[in-house]
Amino acid sequence: MKFSTRSSYGLRALSHLAKNYNQPRRGQAAKKPYSLAKIAREEKISQAYLERLFAQLKRAGLVMSSKGMAGGYQLTKDPAQIAIFDVISTLEGSISVFHCVNSKGKVVCGVKACPSAQVYQKVQKAIADSLRKISLKDLI
């Protein structure tokens, strides 16, 4: 299985937001939103491409945006609570290692007695479980 640039660029960009994340405490202001233009410049990624990725991430509820001169993007929750599985599945769609096993580990190839199905299901589950255990905080 090979993840596309959608995932790698998305995770790199979200790492910027994770580094910039702080939960405001009483009497403390939250950090300002982070601009995509700045991320694009620092990561050498097309801003137009990041805009498309962040539109998906926003629809999935992983980031929020604000407009204006001081606008930009912020994470919707603590980086430790955002699994990279959620980011990758948002940007890639279904995370399926084998064509005959879907992302939920269900055999979908139609072969009734596939001798490999149980092994494929175990591999699929192991990969998904591993991605669920790694958070954005782990990337920074």
Q: The CATH number of the domain where 88 resides is what?
A: 1.10.10.10
| pTM of the predicted model as reported, rounded to 2 decimal places | 0.83
SS3 (DSSP) at 72: strand
Contact by Cβ (8 Å): 13, 45? yes
Residues 6+ apart with CB under 8 A from 48: none
* Cα 101 from Cα 109, distance rounded (Å): 7
When pLDDT is cut at 50, 70 and 90, the band that residue 23 belongs to is low
For residue 12, the model assigns a pLDDT of 95
* Cα 108 from Cα 47, distance rounded (Å): 38
Look at the chain and report how many structural domains it folds into: 1
Q: Name the strand (E) or helix (H) holding 131.
A: helix 117-133
Cα angle, residue 6 at apex, residues 4 and 12 outer, rounded to 5°: 110
Domain span holding position 66: 5-139
When pLDDT is cut at 50, 70 and 90, the band that residue 22 belongs to is low
Q: Name the strand (E) or helix (H) holding 19.
A: helix 5-20
Share of the chain above pLDDT 70, in %: 83
